[in-house]
Amino acid sequence: MSAAGQDLVFITEFMAANTHTLADRDRDYPDWIELYNAGTNTVNLAGWALTDDPQNLTRWRFPAVQLAPNEYLLVFASGKDRRIPGAELHTNFKLDAGGEYLALVKPDGKTIACQFAPTYPPQQADVSYGLSMGDRAMVWVPSQAPKRVWVPTADVGLSWTTLEFDDRQWQVVTNGVGYDPTGLYGPFLGADLRAAMLGRSASVYLRMPFVRPDSGANRLKLRLRYDDGFVAYLNGWEVARRNAPKPLRWDSTATAAHGVPVPTVLEENFESHHGPYVLMWTEERTQARIAEPNEGSAGRFLRLINGQVQNQVAAVAFGQVASGQFQTVTAEFEFRWRARAAGGARLVGLLLPVSTYGSKGPGVDLATLRNQAETSLPGVLTVVLEQESAGAPAMLSAYWNRMRYGALTLAPAAVAPREFHQIKLVLEHTAEGAYVTASLTPRSRSPASVGLKALDRTFIRGLQPYPARLQIAAKIRDWDQTIDLDNVRMQWLPQSGMVIEEFDLAQFSDLLRPGTNLLAIHGLNRSATDPSFLLQPELVIAQGALQPGSERFFAQPTPRAPNGEGYASCAPAPIVSVRGGVFKEPVTVELRSPVTNGVVRYTLNGTEPTASSELAQGPIRISACAQLRAKTFVPGQLPSPTLTETYTLLDESLADFSSNLPLLIIHPFGKYISAYSKTPVGLRVIDTQNGRSTLTGPADYDGRATIHVRGFSTLRQPKSSYTVNLRDAHGDKLRVSLLGLPKEADWVLYAPYSDKSLMRDVLAYELSNQMGRYAPRTRFVEVFVHRYGARLNRSDYQGVYVLAEKITRSKNRVNIHELTPADNAEPAISGGYIIKRDHSQRREPGFTTSLRGVEFSYVYPEPDEITPQQRAWIARYMNELERAIYGPDFKDPNKGYAAYLDVDSFIDHHWLVEMSKNIDGLRYSVFLHKDRGGKLVVGPPWDWNLSWGNADYQEGWRTEGWYYELLREHEICWFRRLSQDPDFRQRAIDRWWQLRQHVFNTSNIWAQIDQWAQLLEEAQQRNFRRWPILGRRVNPNYFVGRTYQEEIRWLKDWIAQRNAWIDSQLLAPPTVTQTAATSTNAVTLTLSSSAGRIFYTLNGTDPRLPGGAVHPNAQLYQGPVAIGGPVRLFARVHAGSEWSGPTVAEFKPHQ
């Protein structure tokens, strides 16, 4: 890094792989850059620039932002390009974690203020890089240095604060001065002033001479222990004060106490049915309540979880008791849990910032707690105890600003059921952060109990004191589990005189003289009769923190705060002898450090290696499925990036497994995959080679992902569908191609179960794409999930799945504009949006239309990202659409539905629903989207398993009958109203007959089904051995085939009958035959129809006028038509008020 120029603005810290450290207002985790003004003047950054391209020095210019001396400014390098003064700033580029150029450029666009050139080194996840700002700090004048003190008895003015004052009659002391009756101040005292001060004076004068540091030390700091107040002078000028009155007299007293602290305490033992807390639960039967004493409890307690339902979540939030900031905060509570079921439990304690969650009330909402997202909340210190299943080990860990600190694995006996245990969290704040201790005491009511510490005074830089209150939350996975709380206690200990406070005197550096200088302090007690007093100063200097060559890695990032010591370099990653893969036999792996002074530590359970992890000292024999993670540790260097390799060992039963479909192997490494949290997994995708795939074949993808169970009604089925999110080594979204599909990070593994054809969803998406309407692209695959046992075996086989694109906004999926939180005005606020109509029981955030009560939920932007203005805008648009549809002017192209709705998309979606008679169609899983400046588009299609006769309700099995007539008023039943517009109805009829020619042609659909049935012939046999449901009804099956072939035949027959019925309900277009004359170039056209009269034109004009009348230029067909030149025939059948679809053809007889 290099710097130039007179304005001392620097890039002091940046993060190029931000996964959990700092979120922006969108709750994304983009890269970030910190600027610091090290000068003495305020700098207007207007016109300054940040760039990652040395050929484009003005890539992103600052708005008019003032940066005061010693002030920090944070800019997110997100690519979102936001530059509103006073708001969150975002560059138009992102940082490359692999290393690139980065510079701050002055307004002339040429002068580089500072730069990391030619590139900064490769970065690690949640590790920042920048300039050390305190690594050369040293005590210049220690507290034990000689001083002179005097208890004043008269006013001598301020001359005593100058170097020239004659203090030879004052008392010479070392260390501090003061007195106290408890002995707490004893180690800090060099002179006991009890006799001179107690009952006589509340003031004392102290003079401490020192020699000015050399020019290389440009920061002077005063460190001071004091009880109760003071005013400090440098060479006669005031430089710092605390608890001192104005004006200050020689016999003044301190204005506030700052001595031996008196704690504030909250205690709750739930003996009363009412207390200073709020209880939260999801439904009446899960209500938390005060319970009477029982075995193991001498008094009442709070039954927070009663185990009446699965996936139960509840919380208790206490109000703020102590205001202000405190040196030490302690929170502790006892808990007891019981679990007869196999499911796990989770207990969370949160210290909530009052500034965010208020001084009272519920605190963090249950939706966040249900999704286990509390560890991602900014500014919340969280302690988490989690047990995957009854009798399994538990894990105790703590989180701050989305980073995990410490993780203690507890034996099952440490959290034994039916006994109370205690969780305790202690914060000890310092000037630069806090020491955090998190512990669990098993059987806390036993005299012999001993605490187990997950964190033992672990220092978290930047964790400053904040007014906080306590919330405790609990969650269970299965029913018949209970969680009880008792003896909740919080203690807030105020700042103590024994704690050193630091005062930066850098701004007063011009007061320093060459040679000897003087620090003078007027110490103040609360009163002359106060029983304790303390004054202990020392001076600290730091060499200029912002010097060329001081680049460092920071394992503890400090955005908007001074950097710590850091590491000058990063250790290189370990070298592994055998890369991960799939193996038939045990594999022996060796790890070694690339440098001689490094050691390698590793884990085999997927957890991050630490300095206390297993040391790699020889061959490591891997005989069971494992995820190896390893780091190199070198003294004085940042630990290396983590090496991750996944080893899958095959059971003999799978040694020769092969398929004609791609294969997926999912490794949760002992973690339970649920619907309510994202489980980190290893994922291996194996494509076919020459038409076959094997488990030991080459990987199409082999890496990290998170996964959770998805669905609503299908959650009750044993074969689970999953959402899969690909992640890189830093935990960021990883956009890659899977099995040839376009690159993206978010995918769905759909599990066909009640649909025994295994292809209904795939067929719907294929037809939609053929119609020209985007639908998720798919691939059939077979899936293994390694749940139990040392090796992957046949019991891990999960059957045939469909890998599908998740419906998201991207150029390869729903291609609409990005909508950012800054887009709150026209035209930007008009899009893009994705919304969804779904089961109301999901309780997903959204809105309800005012006229018909149709419920919609937010998909994009996500509920926690969409701004209030955007919520109001899309709700207003949908209300206006609804009023337009049902209003008196609904046919008007400028006032009616056509002004808001993409009519063709709605018609296409309607016919896909009707032709398949999808009984969830336009009711549930209905996606709609709107682009910027565009109209509402219906789609993409999703969730088509209850279609083509696969339902025994809503007349889903019948090939006859219109499905849209069954839709309820609060569903998307617009077709009924729009059909009252004859032009809309005609438009829909025309589209049906157009689709029937190709996309909905029965033979074409049959051919596609046959092709997939042949592809699935081998895999379906394994699928139905795993899930033996052929010949058995699975809700809501109407038809139950005994074989897979019967299921396919019935599906094909149903489609043919359905198409024929819809055809029978609409006037068919006329047919045309052409007969050539024998002696001329003329031809004769013969039109025919089974009903009605045929009208036609020969110039391509529609014989039907808008509104349904016959065009005046149309001719009534009365017999064969002879033509001698080129014509464009446009013909329709007219019967009553109905018109058929068109027959359009061109004839050129002269050719």
| Residue 135 pLDDT level (bands cut at 50, 70, 90) | very low
639 DSSP assignment: P
Q: How many CB atoms lie within 10 A of CB 995?
A: 20
pLDDT, residue 187, reads 77
Does residue 692 sit in the same domain as residue 798?
yes
Q: Is there a contact between 336 and 483 (Cβ–Cβ < 8 Å)? A: yes
Please write the tens of the pLDDT for every residue from 825-844: 999 999 999 999 998 766 78
817 domain-assigned = no
pLDDT, residue 544, reads 47
Enumerate residues 6+ apart whose C-beta is below 8 A from 592.
574, 575, 600, 616
* Weakest-pLDDT range from 241-255, 299-313, 738-752: 299-313
Q: How many CB atoms lie within 10 A of CB 427?
A: 26
Does residue 127 sit in the same domain as residue 215?
no
568 domain-assigned = no
Enumerate residues 6+ apart whose C-beta is below 8 A from 868.
none
pLDDT, residue 139, reads 81
Enumerate residues 6+ apart whose C-beta is below 8 A from 73.
34, 35, 36, 45, 65, 67, 89
Q: What is the mean pLDDT of residues 561-589?
A: 90
Give the CA distances from residue 87 to residues 67, 76, 216, 355, in Å, rounded to whole numbers and listed in that order.
14, 12, 37, 19
Distance CA 796, CA 658 (A): 15
Q: How many CB atoms lie within 10 A of CB 1107?
A: 10
Please write the tens of the pLDDT for every residue from 1132-1145: 999 999 999 999 99
Distance CA 432, CA 499 (A): 13
Helix (H) or strand (E) holding 1011: helix 1002-1026
Q: Which long-range contacts (CB under 8 A, 24 or more apart) does 76-82 make?
A: 76/24, 76/30, 76/31, 76/32, 76/33, 77/14, 77/16, 77/30, 77/31, 77/32, 77/33, 77/50, 77/52, 78/24, 78/28, 78/30, 78/31, 79/30, 80/26, 80/30, 80/820, 80/822, 82/820, 82/822
98 domain-assigned = yes
Helix (H) or strand (E) holding 291: strand 289-291
Distance CA 607, CA 629 (A): 7
Does residue 840 sit in the same domain as residue 980?
yes
Q: Is there a contact between 709 and 721 (Cβ–Cβ < 8 Å)? A: yes
Query: Within its chain, how far is the Cα of 809 from the centroid?
Result: 16
Q: What is the mean pLDDT of residues 573-597?
A: 95
Does residue 231 sit in the same domain as residue 339?
no
What does the longest C-alpha to C-alpha distance in the chain come to? 140
Q: What beta strand segments (E) does 134-228 contain?
A: 137-141, 147-150, 171-173, 176-179, 189-192, 203-211, 217-227
pLDDT, residue 735, reads 93
Enumerate residues 6+ apart whose C-beta is below 8 A from 350.
363, 364, 374, 377, 380, 381, 382, 470, 471, 472, 473
Does residue 370 sit in the same domain as residue 433?
yes
DSSP β-ladder status, 581-583 and 264-268: unpaired
Does residue 449 sit in the same domain as residue 370?
yes
| Residue 1025 pLDDT level (bands cut at 50, 70, 90) | very high
Query: Within its chain, how far is the Cα of 764 from the centroid?
Result: 31
Query: Within its chain, how far is the Cα of 234 from the centroid?
Result: 50
447 domain-assigned = yes
Q: Which two tokens stand for residue 1149?
A: 């007889």
From the list 870, 823, 875, the residue with the least C-alpha distance to 847 is 875
With helix as H, strand as E and coil as C, how does 1048-1091 read? HHHHHHHHHHHHHHHHHHCCCCCEEEEEECCCCCCEEEEEECCC
823 domain-assigned = no
- 476 has a pLDDT exceeding 80: yes
Rg of the chain on CA atoms, in Å:
37
pLDDT, residue 378, reads 77
The mean predicted confidence, pLDDT, of the chain is: 90
| Residue 954 pLDDT level (bands cut at 50, 70, 90) | very high
Distance CA 745, CA 750 (A): 16
From the list 680, 689, 800, 700, the residue with the least C-alpha distance to 741 is 700
- Which amino acid type is present at position 1125? G
- 319 has a pLDDT exceeding 80: yes
From the list 270, 273, 644, the residue with the least C-alpha distance to 472 is 270
Does residue 480 sit in the same domain as residue 412?
yes
pLDDT, residue 499, reads 65
Q: What is the CATH number of the domain that holds 602?
A: 2.60.40
772 domain-assigned = no
Helix (H) or strand (E) holding 1095: strand 1093-1097
**Which residue's entry shows tokens 């000028």?**
237
Does residue 300 sit in the same domain as residue 357?
yes
pLDDT, residue 558, reads 78
815 domain-assigned = no
**Which residue's entry shows tokens 């038809």?**
1039
- Domain enclosing residue 927, as ranges: 828-1065
760 domain-assigned = no
Please write the tens of the pLDDT for every residue from 962-1018: 999 999 999 999 999 999 999 999 999 999 999 999 999 999 999 999 999 999 999
From the list 755, 613, 714, 752, the residue with the least C-alpha distance to 1040 is 755
Does residue 1021 sit in the same domain as residue 894?
yes
Q: How many CB atoms lie within 10 A of CB 906?
A: 24
pLDDT, residue 425, reads 92
Q: Is there a contact between 381 and 463 (Cβ–Cβ < 8 Å)? A: yes
Q: Which long-range contacts (CB under 8 A, 24 or more apart) does 593-598 make?
A: 593/632, 593/634, 594/632, 595/571, 595/632, 595/634, 597/634, 597/635, 598/571, 598/572, 598/632, 598/633, 598/634
pLDDT, residue 216, reads 45
Does residue 420 sit in the same domain as residue 344?
yes
Q: Which two tokens stand for residue 551?
A: 């680049």
Does residue 1017 sit in the same domain as residue 957?
yes
110 DSSP assignment: S
| Residue 262 pLDDT level (bands cut at 50, 70, 90) | low
pLDDT, residue 1097, reads 97
> What is the total count of domains within the chain?
7
Does residue 626 sit in the same domain as residue 709?
no
**Which residue's entry shows tokens 């210290």?**
351
